[in-house]
Amino acid sequence: MNNLPLIPGATGLVCEDVMPLRCTQLTHAPTEAQRIQCQEANEDILRTIALLDEHFSEPGEEHDITAQGMQRIDFKLNLVLDLVGQVLAHHLTLPESVSVSFNTEAIQWEGLSAPDAGATVKVELYASRKYPRAIVLYGKVQAVQPLPGAFKVGVVFEGLSEIVSDGLGKLIFRHHRRHVAHARRMHHVP
């Protein structure tokens, strides 16, 4: 994972993926009440995503019948959640999926349109396929770079609570861990 090139000073682990994202340019900054409601909703969404991302830990002994039974239940529950997520995503009007990279400070994506540089925006990021609800993040557009037929947009978050920032950090870490595990499996395939 690398730094966000359009965002000066952005540091830390970065999540890179293709996710549904909607950006709305605001005519005025959100009120304090709107920010608080948004933070509370984000906390709930990030907590739910964390619970859905949990996997039953490997048992100490392969012959532990209870652990094997729990793994089967966990697998079946994950299957049901995946199916429900697919049905919800099909019936919801999700925004277009775009190439996204973000950390706890900023987000960057490539899209067909771009807000004005310096504008205050509301970014809705659908970070979980199992739970298609948007994490809503307010920020200021720091950079807009024209690309052939598209734009690369960089936004620095504003007003994130410590809880939401921590939840985003954990989401990014879990994503990174899955990416590393997947890469290891790909290298060990005969």
* 19 pLDDT tier (thresholds 50, 70, 90): very high
Q: Are 137 and 125 in contact (CB under 8 A)?
A: yes
Indicate if the pLDDT at residue 115 is higher than 90.
yes
Residue 3 domain flag: no
**Within a domain: 73:** yes
Q: Is residue 8 part of a domain?
A: no
Of the pLDDT bands very low, low, confident and very high (cuts 50, 70, 90), residue 190 is low
In whole angstroms, how far apart are CA 178 and each of 69, 70, 174, 185? 24, 21, 6, 10
Q: What's residue 122's pLDDT?
A: 97
Range of the domain at 176: 15-54+63-188
pLDDT at residue 12 is higher than 70:
yes
6 belongs to a structural domain: no
Is 24 within a domain?
yes
pTM of the model: 0.79
In a domain, 84, yes or no: yes
10 in a structural domain: no
Query: Three-class SS string for the chain?
Result: CCCCCCCCCCCCCCEEEEEEEEEEECCCCCCHHHHHHHHHHHHHHHHHHHHHHCCCCCCCCCCCHHHHHHHHHHHHHHHHHHHHHHHHHHHCCCCCEEEEEECCCEEEEEECCCCCCCCEEEEEECCCCCCCCCEEEEEEEEEEEEECCEEEEEEEECCCCHHHHHHHHHHHHHHHHHHHHHHHHHHHCC
Angle of CA points 42, 46, 47, to nearest 5°? 115
Q: How many domains does the chain have?
A: 1
In this predicted model, what pLDDT tens digit does every residue of 163-186 receive, in sequence order?
A: 999 999 999 999 888 877 777 777
Q: Report yes or no on 5 lying in a domain.
A: no
| Distances, alpha carbon 94 to alpha carbons 83, 128, 143, in Å | 16, 12, 25
